[in-house]
Amino acid sequence: MTKLIHAMIRVFDLDRSQAFYADAFGMAESHRLEFPTFDLVYLKDPASGFEIELTFNKDQTAPYTHGSGYGHVAFCTENLEEFREKLIGLGLEPGDIKSLSEGAVTRARFFFVSDPDGYRIEVLEQAGHYA
Amino acid sequence: MTKLIHAMIRVFDLDRSQAFYADAFGMAESHRLEFPTFDLVYLKDPASGFEIELTFNKDQTAPYTHGSGYGHVAFCTENLEEFREKLIGLGLEPGDIKSLSEGAVTRARFFFVSDPDGYRIEVLEQAGHYA
């Protein structure tokens, strides 16, 4: 009856954000709507079909703020170390690789990286539930 | 090389949030990890396979806050009026149906509804780019 199709974030510098999501995660522009006071740009993830909608408000004069509620979007990838090195090669600053264990069982291996507006992005090793 | 798999939000009342996403959007629990200080509950959207990860911090004493940056997740649905009536029938308070036009062309018909923590959710009519 319903289908989850995108997540929307507001960005301060549209070109910078588009370059980040294209270079780091291979997300290309799939759709754009332009209005006098704002633009909407949709970036599609080729693997899932899910999109990130970038809202660019043309009169925004200060960076957007982050509350304590919203967390992140997450990508999975086959080789966590290799992908992390790729991001470093792009001049980004991914955090250290960490693990989450339930008792003796490792449930997740992951790191975080921030996009140009400071939105957190989790990158998980493709394993178990994360595929 | 990467696949976008989920979006994470922190919730103040886990049962209340799970009931909301199940009743309103048919999202069932697909995975759960339990730790001494927090639980992670994954809710899967059957149509897209995309998940919303609910983080429940057991020591959280105040509602989470919302910054100006993060916007919403969006669902599409075939019959916007019918789905909006369904939400009202569940005791929810969806906003009015609105349109977004570029010149003379209607690009989107949609309304918003809030989840129990105040995260905004857009519901778009399945048409054009939104499918």
pLDDT tens track for B68-93: 999 999 999 999 999 999 999 999 99
Averaged pLDDT, A50-62: 98
Q: Select from 1.10.580.10, 3.90.180.10, 1.10.760.10, 3.10.180.10 the CATH code of A1-64.
A: 3.10.180.10
Residues 6+ apart with CB under 8 A from B43: B18, B21, B22, B27, B28, B29, B30, B51, B52, B53, B54
| Average pLDDT of chain A, as a whole number | 97
pLDDT of residue B25: 98
Position B122 confidence tier, pLDDT thresholds 50, 70, 90: very high
Res B102 pLDDT > 90 = no
Q: What is the pLDDT of residues A29-47, one digit of tens each?
A: 999 999 999 999 999 999 9
CATH code: domain B1-61 is 3.10.180.10
Q: Which of A3, A9, A70 sits opposite B48 (nearest CB)?
A: A3
Q: Which of A13-17, A108-112, B102-106 has the lowest mean pLDDT?
A: B102-106
CB B57 within 8 A of CB B105: no
Residues 6+ apart with CB under 8 A from B122: A8, B72, B73, B74, B75, B110, B111, B112
Chain-chain contact of A129 with B48 (C-beta, under 8 angstroms) = no
The rounded distance, in Å, linking the Cα atoms of B25 and B28 is 9
Chain-chain contact of A26 with B71 (C-beta, under 8 angstroms) = no
Chain-chain contact of B74 with A8 (C-beta, under 8 angstroms) = yes
pLDDT of residue A130: 96
- The CA-based angle A109-A112-A114, given to 5 degrees, is 165
Q: How far B96 CA lies from chain A's nearest CA (Å)? A: 18
pTM for the model: 0.97
Q: Model ipTM?
A: 0.97
Res A81 pLDDT > 90 = yes
Averaged pLDDT, A41-60: 98
pLDDT of residue B103: 84
Res A59 pLDDT > 90 = yes
Give the start-to-end residue ranges of the domains of chain A: 1-64, 71-131
| Average pLDDT of chain B, as a whole number | 97
From the list B40, B57, B6, the residue with the least C-alpha distance to A123 is B6
Averaged pLDDT, B45-54: 98
Averaged pLDDT, B4-20: 98
To the question of domain B71-131 being in CATH 3.10.180.10, the answer is yes
Q: How far A55 CA lies from chain B's nearest CA (Å)? A: 9
Chain-chain contact of B33 with A7 (C-beta, under 8 angstroms) = no
Would residue B122 show up in a list of annotated catalytic residues for this protein?
A: yes
Q: How far A86 CA lies from chain B's nearest CA (Å)? A: 11
The phi, psi pair for A85, rounded to 5°, reads -65, -40
Fold match, B1-61 / B71-131 = yes
pLDDT of residue A44: 98
pLDDT of residue A103: 84
Which one from B78, B82, B122, B125 is the annotated catalytic residue?
B122
pLDDT of residue A53: 98
Position A102 confidence tier, pLDDT thresholds 50, 70, 90: confident
